[in-house]
Amino acid sequence: MTVTRADGRDGRSVIKTLIRVSDLDRAFGLAAHAEHVQRIREAAPPLTREQTKFIAQVFSDHLLEQDAKRRREAEAGTASEAMSCPSSMAAASRAHGRGCPILASTGPLAY
């Protein structure tokens, strides 16, 4: 790193700092990151059995909640598909002079 004093465009004195790319690589490069992670892992105590069990339980609960959410959404989608009149069915019904059979059986929908 080099620090120099110079005159700015408007005549005021400025300080210019020049930093070598190699210095930046040494400070922030992949090797520095790997060393940093390694030092953390060496200093961190291993997880206890209780901590490991707790983390596994939280992860398991999360997976079960996500699975239940997907099932509910799939069931809701299936139910709404059964109650809707597909456009191809509606077009075929109009071609034969009839309305949508689902709407005919349930009556008009109020929104």
Residue 18 phi, psi (nearest 5): -110, 125
Tell whether the model's pLDDT for residue 64 goes beyond 90. yes
Over range 63-73, report the average pLDDT.
95
Q: Which residues contact 16 (CB under 8 A, 6 or more apart)?
A: 3, 4, 5, 6
58 band by pLDDT with thresholds 50, 70 and 90: very high
Q: If you average pLDDT over each of 39-48, 76-85, 99-108, which comes out highest?
A: 39-48
pTM, full prediction: 0.38
Q: How does strand 13-18 pair with strand 2-7?
A: antiparallel
Domain ranges across the chain: 1-44, 47-102
Q: What pLDDT was estimated at residue 103?
A: 45
Q: What pLDDT was estimated at residue 49?
A: 95
